[in-house]
Structure 1
Amino acid sequence: MLLGGGILAVLLVTVLSLCLGNVHFTPGELFGILQGSEGNVNRSILLYARLPRTFASLLAGAALAVSGAVLQNVLANRLASPGVIGVNAGAGLGVTLCGAGGILSGYAVSLSAFAGSLVSIFLIFLFSRRMNASKTTVILSGVALNSILNAICESVTVLDTDLAMLSIDFRVGGFSAVSFTRLFPAAVLISLALSGLFSLCNELDIVTLGDETAQGVGLAVGRYRMIFLVLAALLAGAAVSFSGLLGFVGLIVPHFVRRFTGNESGRLLPLCALSGAAFVTFCDLAARLLFLPYELPVGILMSVVGGPVFLVLLVRYRGGLG
């Protein structure tokens, strides 16, 4: 029932995203445009603006939500998420360095974002393991790493004025400039990472139980933990490569989904993917419609929503599982 409800929510918000904007379509007109019976202007709006934007928001939401759920399980900290512990900032640094080198699209951008997010994850993971840090300390160290990486990005853009103009939308986060050319490489990587995680749900549940329990049932904990961290970094990095620095998706959605599914990964991860896709697409739609004819970057709207939620969760869990 939950999975069916999630699929219906995604379909509904997808149709609304395709139909609504500065130019509105009815569902009948939408079907006519797809068949080629409507005018060229409407067809161009749908094919070159609405479709890539909607697919981008669906992919980014699914990737960031699942990445957040995996990080929370592997790090045993429900306040962990790509936006909070510096994973998105690491991916942003990778994209910024690519832009400084004149590369603005393709697999190089997605892989650079993945590399940056992977480095951020392993820095946090190694710090927590070597220092035996508390869950609160892990979050605070992630916030510090986030600030450092953002400062490096700002330094690069200050030194390169052309890149500064291109990176304004990226730092805020949004889908207004997304095209299928930019989206396709990241979509391939996200699909591969999601497929890998969905096939390893049982192993993720065992890793979540702790090292001693996992080793007791014969699971190679270190190897699987690394696999999960790499896949989480791949999801976050690929999403950031075309969506920019969207925050709080990986924090809000897993908490919402856990209320209905519990911690079992076989239910949690698929529903996180659907809920994240619907949530980000709905926020992008709201950002388009609230101030017509002007458009609010979706990253601003999500920060306004996510900031208070993070504070509530911080009080509830006090940096731990609660």
Structure 2
Amino acid sequence: MKIREKKSWKVFLLSLFPLLALMSLLYSLSFGSVEVSIPDIINILLGDKQGEYYTIIWSVRLPRLLIAALVGMNLALAGALLQGVMRNPMADPHIIGVSSGAGLFGVFIMLVFPAYSHLLVPAAFIGAMTAAFIVYILAWNKGVSPIRIILAGVAVSAFLNSGVSALYTFYSDRVPGTISFMVGSLSAKSWQQFDVLWPYSLIGIFLAMIGAQRMNILMLGDAESRSLGLNTEGYRLWFIAIGALLAASAVSVVGLLGFVGLIVPHAARLLVGNDYRVLLPCSAFLGVIVVSVSDTLGRTLFSPIELPVGIIMGIIGAPFFIYLLRKKSSI
């Protein structure tokens, strides 16, 4: 028996990953243009408003960090769900066009109807769902082929990104406000963005977790899952909708942050296997670690110049994607 299939190993990782996530969050709160000690951070989090670092931690770093944590969870879970539904370990929301769909509809709201910014998440969700369904339909031919998914995703992404470029051309005077959106950035994020993000994240994460057992059944294949009484097409659409909601809520706040949904679920799968009851929570906590650490590196490596987290993820994710393509992995 492989070590990742042992129950004791899975329990160990389910205990380790939350601890590592907490450590990464404290690390991220500590480092920046001004370094703050862990004891000072803990005192501030416990309610000490008199410390000299209170404003830095509570008003600047903490909301940004909580957004990073939710975005990491959302994109990791979206990637894990889409990889399972489409039976392709490279079905990252960014790569197969889901994020591009959310991005196009999000940019449309920001440029054409800026007064309706409260509709950004619902609009991004509609865009993500539309892109996911188009990719799925294009890739379907008596079954879903992993290669067809990637090719369809590339084509759909190119088409949707052309739409974004067209919007930029027609509304060039409003473009500067959306630059960070296109690269994926956590810069200047505040409690306002956190308040927008957390309800959608909570719903999406809850629905993903309670659907883990049904995803396990769906992974057995259409014939066997139907024999067990599962409505395969219905649940496939349901999981695509959950993945689209998670990806869209993340994209609407931080922009087109790529590769999180590719790297994190794949790394978690290598450690714990394909049991979604374990894979989903491990992916969620690992997503927190990856995004929070990447954002901290972006803030500190070339300080006072700040690199958007999307650039850091691109540096990490592109070689990983090439590795997967060469390996020709399959779920």
TM-score between the two structures when normalised by the length of structure 2: 0.92
Distance 1:264 1:219 in 2: 17
Report the CA distance between 1:141 and its aligned residue.
1.2
Distance 1:31 1:84 in 2: 39
Secondary structure of 1:148's aligned partner? helix
Aligned residue in 2 for 1:287: 298
Aligned pair 1:251/2:259, yes or no? no
Q: Percent identity?
A: 34
Q: Which runs of 4+ in 1 moved over 4 A?
A: 130-133
Aligned residue in 2 for 1:72: 83
Among 133, 137, 155, which residue is 2:166 paired with?
155
Give aligned pairs, total: 317
Structure 1 spans left out of the alignment, 5+ residues: none
Aligned pair 1:213/2:227, yes or no? no
Secondary structure of 2:95's aligned partner? coil
Backbone CA RMSD of aligned residues: 1.5
TM-score between the two structures when normalised by the length of structure 1: 0.95
Report the CA distance between 1:211 and its aligned residue.
1.0
Contact 2:67 2:197 (8 Å CA) reproduced: no
Aligned pair 1:19/2:50, yes or no? no
Among 108, 114, 118, which residue is 2:129 paired with?
118
Aligned residue in 2 for 1:102: 114
The correspondence of residues 43-58 of structure 1 with structure 2, limited to 5 A, is 43-58=54-69
Contact 1:127 1:133 (8 Å CA) reproduced: no
Structure 2 spans left out of the alignment, 5+ residues: 1-11
Among 73, 94, 102, which residue is 1:91 paired with?
102
Among 141, 147, 151, which residue is 1:140 paired with?
151
Contact 1:67 1:233 (8 Å CA) reproduced: yes
Q: Any idea what the Cα deviations from partners look like across 1:27-60, whole Å, max 9, x if unmatched? A: 1222343411213xx3222222101110111011
Contact 2:79 2:93 (8 Å CA) reproduced: yes
Secondary structure of 1:204's aligned partner? helix
Report the CA distance between 1:158 and its aligned residue.
2.0
Q: Any idea what the Cα deviations from partners look like across 1:56-114, whole Å, max 9, x if unmatched? A: 110111110111011011011111110110111111111101112014743x1111111
Aligned residue in 2 for 1:275: 286
Contact 1:65 1:253 (8 Å CA) reproduced: yes
Contact 2:44 2:58 (8 Å CA) reproduced: no
Distance 2:173 2:21 in 1: 37
Contact 2:76 2:283 (8 Å CA) reproduced: yes
Aligned residue in 2 for 1:38: 51
Secondary structure of 1:279's aligned partner? helix
Contact 1:171 1:245 (8 Å CA) reproduced: yes
Aligned pair 1:173/2:195, yes or no? no
